[in-house]
Amino acid sequence: MYLEKLFGLVGKVAVVTGGGQGIGQVVAQGLAKAGAEVVILNRSNAHETVKSITEQGGKAWFFSTDVTKEASVDAAFAEILRRSGRVDIIFNNAGICMHQSTLEATIAQFREVFDVNVTGEFIVARAAGKIMIERGIHGSIINMASMSGSIVNVPQWQASYNASKAAVIHLTRSLAVEWAPHHIRVNSISPGYIATPMSVDTPQELKDAWMPHIPMHRMGNPEELVPAILYLACDASGYTSGSDVIVDGAYTSM
């Protein structure tokens, strides 16, 4: 009973951005299985994720949201409070990546990557933090970073993405310190190369180039991120804040 309470999420409301597919979808399902009510904030339809959760007896719903627009995020959280009454957990997952050399990339493309990956996470975290502070909720915010925030990926060039994820890691640390007096924990998770539906479009020559640099000689599965996120979301991680949890098959150890 003690461990179930410590590691469980029953009675919690968990918000997942970008939960329509890939990592966000798998994590949303994992949070629901741990007992949380899951709210998906996604620009496009996320009914498939909601259906997969509810068919297994979980509770989930979807609200169309553009994380780069403050008004859109504020409307989403107003609806969350109306329908669910509270916000306990944020998985700030929405993000984009661009593989392009710096000399070929446009300033507009660079700004787009930062707008979604950094500004979007800031807007969502701030909206959630405000609610948690006002209502005295000891919440957990988990930002999606990447091993790319600590290393430079090769052979693809993605300076904008790498820089954005480094910014996410330091944003996480900054919020963790600022909101510690309010008992709000802020951490980030940094996946390595993960096999998702999006990776299907990745050229095979890139995958072949990555494998020799991964000590485990394989890409990770989205399901292998869930335990780390569940730990950061639950009460068992009560003294863990400002941390970046790297799940990369030891890639960054090389």
Known catalytic residues are 146, 161, 165
CA dist 125 and 146 (Å) reads 17
Cβ pair 87, 74 in contact under 8 A: no
Residue type, 154: V
CA dist 109 and 112 (Å) reads 5
Rounded to the nearest 10 degrees, the angle between the axes of helix 159-179 and helix 107-114 is 30
The strand pairing partners of 190, in sequence order, are 246
Q: At 205, is the secondary structure helix, strand, or coil?
A: helix
Smallest CA-to-CA distance from 13 within 34, 36, 33 is with: 36
Tokens 């994820």 sit on residue: 165
If you count them, how many residues does the chain have? 254
Give Cα 102 distance to the centre of its chain.
26
